[in-house]
Amino acid sequence: MKIPYFVIDAFTGAGFKGNPAGVCVLTHPLKPQQMQEIAARNNLPETAFICRQAGGWSIRWFTPTFEIDLCGHATLAAAFAALNFYGPQAAEVKFTAGCGSLTVHRCGKGYELVLPAKMPQQIAVTDEITRALGVKPLKAWQDRDLYVLLPDEDAVKNFVPDYAKLQKLSKWLGIVVTACGRQADFVSRYFCPELMDEDPVTGSVHCCLVPLWASALAKTKLRAVQLSPRGGELFCSLAGDTVRLGGEAKLYLKGEIYL
């Protein structure tokens, strides 16, 4: 069995930037264990598995160690593969996932991903959070992930994670540090304690970041930069109950997986 396979850098127009994702194009669904084994072998932040269905594609996302409920950058990568290799005349592609329906549009030389907007719940900055971070944030919010506000862009850029301490914040999947930006409207970084790694560019956390910063800055169109070593740029807008994330993508590898 041969599976078409792509590696695509999302939220960047340059090589070796943005967030790399694997995309497997299936003719029929695989067992979850098979998808997990492929994702572990690929060893990328996420691998998306897409399969044609009526009206679009199904999609699932796997890190090297577990399935995730939503991944923005891997959805953008999957859309790049679907639109450029399987629907070159199409203006958009629709995905169906456990979290609902997702749509990606062509937008100039890039793509625009439509995700559900989620305003996270503000919580107290506890001693536990402060000890785990090693710094005291100005504010904190929670959803799937923990979001903490730092004083400025330099504090985000210079933040050094202690994964052993961050793992004690086991209530949340990931830790997001964010602040107002100097050139961008806001900046952020995302850390996954379970993987002991920093995610280069994380589309899904912007489901919460965009409503937060739209409220704080009183504007619905925002430019965001994720300050990981690879870095990435997102053009964001809040439209009702959806967040729109615009960005480019670049093909790095095209091949086949043999099962």
CB 156 within 8 A of CB 178: yes
Instruction: Kindly state the tokens that stand for 206.
Output: 């912007």
Asked whether the beta carbons of 60 and 22 are under 8 A apart, the reply is no
Contact 95, 75 (CB under 8 A): yes
Cβ-count burial 95-134 (b if 16+ within 10 Å, e if not): bbbebeebbbbebeebbbbbbebbebeeeebeeebeebbe
Tokens of 247: 């960005």
Q: How many CB atoms lie within 10 A of CB 28?
A: 7
User: Position of tokens 């503000």?
Assistant: 122
Give Dmax (Cα) for the chain: 54
Task: Residue count of the chain, please give it.
Answer: 259
Closest CA to 148 of 136, 157, 139, 135: 139
Alpha helices in the chain (DSSP H): 32-42, 72-81, 127-133, 153-157, 163-166, 206-217
- The pLDDT > 90 percentage for the chain reads 95
Residues tagged active-site: 46
Check residue 67 and give its pLDDT. 96
pLDDT band at 235 (very low <50, low <70, confident <90, very high): very high
User: Quick one: average pLDDT of 10-33?
Assistant: 95
Question: Among residues 223, 229, 60, which one has the least CA distance to residue 160?
Answer: 229
The predicted model scores a pTM of 0.88
Sequence-separated (6 or more) residues with CB below 8 Å from residue 15: 9, 250, 252
Mean pLDDT, rounded, for 123-131: 98
At 88, is the pLDDT very low, low, confident or very high (cuts 50, 70, 90)?
A: confident
